[in-house]
Amino acid sequence: MLTTSQSPVYVAHSLDEALTLRAAHPEAMPLAGGTDVMVFIEAGAIDPPGFIDLWAARDMAGVADADGGLWIGALTTYTDLERDDRVVKAAPALVEAARTVGAKQIQNRGTLGGNIANASPAGDTLPVLMALDAEVEVASKARGARRIPIDTLYTGYRKLAVAPDELITRVFLPTPHPADVQHFRKVGTRLAQAISKVVFGARVRLEGGKVTDARVAFGSVAATPVRCPKVEAALVGRAPDPAAAGHLLDDIAPIDDVRSTADYRRTVAVRTLRSFISSLA
Ligand SMILES: Cc1cc2nc3c(=O)[nH]c(=O)nc-3n(C[C@H](O)[C@H](O)[C@H](O)COP(=O)(O)OP(=O)(O)OC[C@H]3O[C@@H](n4cnc5c(N)ncnc54)[C@H](O)[C@@H]3O)c2cc1C
């Protein structure tokens, strides 16, 4: 155990150690890359009574090909994602998202598990993970591992269906269908170092000129990242029709905040979606 002037820092060197520490110190905050946590501490927004430092638990990082898809460890950084050929091939939209997070320093340190656990409605990987039907594996020392479809993970603003003794351990991405088209689009104030005003992930299966399956998800337009079932239903069973974008306003609930207005978000989200559907046609 290391100690800061204020709070103890428990260092985990493996997933097993991390789960043991989590069970022993459920009040301590997990610390992965620290790119969200450090900002919150600096801003005085949090003052946890302890930390569980995961960074040295290297068995929580990396990509494995198994079970009909890819397993991505929670500690895998954005740079790791960008450099892994299997991720580039199976999840190009996730790689696009990774490339837009912060800038190089953040991509070298920020982790996929941290983006998921931070549960910001503006988290850039989250709509893409929803579009790719990702499952998030969480585990505790007492009960072992369980898998949660990412579109049921968020239960409210910055709330996750993860118990206090659990950690996010890895993420499963099923192998994409050869006819799937993936898409990622982020709208922010700048091309780098910008938190999303609107962020969009999609996966559409095109067979014989028709959409046979669709996943559409947005971030920054509701209290949590959201799937868009009305749009998905309007797309499936016919040729790609940009008019389906008209259903988006039934699926999202943007607000005014420091980054943008609800009105801007509605307008940009619909245009972004319409432009993607037009590109399919
Ligand atoms: C300058 C800057 C720019 C940024 N730009 C972007 C951007 O463009 N897009 C974007 O989406 N984000 C951005 N971020 C936010 C941040 O970089 C990402 O959310 C990153 O993925 C967080 O990962 P981390 O490993 O640093 O998480 P940490 O800061 O270590 O942790 C974040 C949260 O997740 C919890 N946590 C971490 N790992 C686990 C785990 N395995 N199990 C359970 N809980 C866990 C922590 O307790 C904490 O609550 C930016 C941050 C900075 C400082």
Protein residue closest via CA to atom 25 of ligand 1:
33
Name the residue of 115, 128, 138, 218 to mutate for ligand 1: max ligand atoms within 8 A of Cβ: 115
Is the domain of 168 the same as that of 265? no
Is the domain of 162 the same as that of 186? no
Q: What is the pLDDT of residue 3?
A: 46
Protein residue closest via CA to atom 1 of ligand 1:
102
- Tell me which of 73-77, 113-117, 189-193, 232-236 is least confident: 189-193
Q: Could you read off the pLDDT of 205-263 as tens digits, one per residue? A: 999 999 999 999 999 999 999 999 999 999 999 999 999 999 999 999 898 888 889 99
Q: What is the pLDDT of residue 135?
A: 98
Tell me how far the alpha carbon of residue 238 lies from the centroid of ligand 1, in angstroms.
39
* pLDDT(2) > 80: no
Is the domain of 273 the same as that of 218? yes
Protein residue closest via CA to atom 18 of ligand 1:
115
* pLDDT(192) > 80: no
Instruction: Choose the final residue of a domain: 27, 53, 79.
Output: 53
What is the CATH number for 111?
3.30.465.10
* pLDDT(43) > 70: yes
- Greater model confidence, 260 or 179: 179
Is the domain of 36 the same as that of 84? no
The whole domain housing 18 covers 2-53
Tell me how far the alpha carbon of residue 72 lies from the centroid of ligand 1, in angstroms.
16
Is the domain of 68 the same as that of 164? yes
Q: Could you read off the pLDDT of 85-101 as tens digits, one per residue? A: 999 999 999 999 999 99
Atom of ligand 1 nearest to the CA of 122: 11
Q: Give the tokens for residue 183.
A: 């898409």
Instruction: Choose the final residue of a domain: 174, 207, 225.
Output: 174
Q: What is the pLDDT of residue 258?
A: 84
Is the domain of 163 the same as that of 91? yes
Mean pLDDT of 156-165: 96
Is the domain of 102 the same as that of 204? no
Residues in the ligand 1 pocket, defined by CB under 6 Å:
29-37, 39, 54, 74, 100-102, 106, 109-111, 113-115, 117-118, 123-124, 167-168, 193, 195
What is the CATH number for 8?
3.30.43.10
What is the CATH number for 274?
3.30.390.50
Q: What is the pLDDT of residue 193?
A: 76
Q: Dump the DSSP string for the chain.
A: -EE-SSSEEEEPSSHHHHHHHHHH-TTSEEESS-TTHHHHHHTTS---S-EEE-TT-GGGSSEEEETTEEEEETT-BHHHHHH-HHHHHH-HHHHHHHHHSS-HHHHHH-BHHHHHHH--TT-TTHHHHHHTT-EEEEEETTTEEEEEEGGGTEEETTEES--TT-EEEEEEEEPPPTTEEEEEEEE-SSSSS---SEEEEEEEEEETTEEEEEEEEEESSSSS-EE-HHHHHHHTTSS--GGGGGGGGGT------SS--HHHHHHHHHHHHHHHHHHH-
Q: What is the pLDDT of residue 191?
A: 74
Is the domain of 62 the same as that of 131? yes
Task: Provide the mean pLDDT of the chain.
Answer: 95
Tell me how far the alpha carbon of residue 112 lies from the centroid of ligand 1, in angstroms.
8
Q: What is the pLDDT of residue 234?
A: 98
Mean pLDDT of 8-14: 97
Number of domains in the chain: 3
**Percent above pLDDT 90 for the chain:** 91
Tell me how far the alpha carbon of residue 155 lies from the centroid of ligand 1, in angstroms.
19
* pLDDT(158) > 70: yes
